Structure 1
């Protein structure tokens, strides 16, 4: 698979704005570990290999266990996640799959039980941000960095 377009080169002004919002999310005060896991879950749903690889790697670099990183895809069936993380994953899935149906009051109340209003706005923007990155990386075929061993195995 070959990349289709370098969106940073093609439209630097808008990409600077996108990047600035990303920086604001990163410095919002939300727990970095939670941000990694939420970004990973949205990227899994969206089939964004670039972001799945990046957020898995970054989560591990920041101390997340290999088990928890692998089990994000099956978070409902795993006892390894806190109630707060589960609420964030459910909110992530609901917002990433908006076309599947409305965000019901029950969805809002479930996440609101674990996040303040301020945190919920920040979490929602973080979810929107990773969905933006996914919607850039997938259609333009951003290629994630691959270790040499993986390249050799793929041949």
Structure 2
């Protein structure tokens, strides 16, 4: 059965999410975070949510932004890898906790660890990236956006 395409049936709401996306990217730039790494953050959330459409898109976006192919390949196993800095690890922890918020809420310990290495501007930008990508994942999954070879 064909599902409703939320972007086509409610374009004004879709445009509002696009505006959130644009604003969150501006916040990433203002915080001095790397745009390529922001795609890795989106990729990681999309992997957790099992959003094939977004996994593919953010893999391609990360490559276009100059991200290292090893970092892209290892993002799902970032804890076991030496490819990510302390700040990037804190950002990945934040992304994962916000993505899994319904399962385990957002432990103070994760936030406190992040706050030791990230500025409040960086935390704000990362949290908005998490909120927006999780919104996109839900739009793509519920509308069954197709991923064709």
**TM-score for the superposition, normalised by structure 2:** 0.91
Match of 2:105 among 87, 96, 102: 102
Give unpaired runs (5+ residues) of structure 1.
none
> Mind listing any 5+ residue stretches in structure 2 that lack a counterpart?
none
Q: CA deviation at 1:53?
A: 0.3
Deviation at 1:4, TM superposition (A): 2.3
Report the RMSD for the aligned CA atoms in angstroms: 1.4
TM-superposed deviation, 1:102 = 3.0
Query: Is it true that 1:57 corresponds to 2:60 in the alignment?
Result: yes
Q: Deviations over 1:56-80 (max 9, x none)?
A: 0110111111111010010011111
Residue in 1 aligned with 2:118? 115
Question: 1:92, 1:136 → 2: CA distance?
Answer: 18
State which of 93, 96, 99 in structure 1 corresponds to 2:96. Answer: 93
TM-score under structure 1 length normalisation? 0.88
Does the 8 A contact of 2:53 with 2:140 survive in 1?
yes
Identify the structure with the greater helix proportion. Answer: 2
Contact 2:37 2:67 in 1 (8 A): no
Cα distance in 1 between the residues matched to 2:57 and 2:110: 28
1:126 matched to 2:142? The reply is: no
Task: Determine helix, strand or coil for the equivalent of 1:27.
Answer: helix
Contact 2:36-2:65 at 8 Å conserved across structures: yes
How far 1:5 moved relative to its partner? 2.7
Query: Structure 1 residue 11 and structure 2 residue 4: aligned?
Result: no
CA drift at 1:117: 1.1
Q: Deviations over 1:106-133 (max 9, x none)?
A: 1111111222112211210110000000
Please say which of residues 43-52 and 7-16 is displaced more in the overlay.
7-16
User: Cα distance, 1:100 vs. partner?
Assistant: 2.2
Instruction: Give the Cα–Cα distance (whole angstroms) in 1 for the partners of residues 65 and 124 of structure 2.
Output: 24
Deviation at 1:99, TM superposition (A): 2.0
Task: Report the Cα distance in structure 2 between the residues aligned to 1:95 and 1:131, rounded to whole angstroms.
Answer: 9
- Using the alignment, how far apart are the partners of 1:27 and 1:100 within structure 2? 30
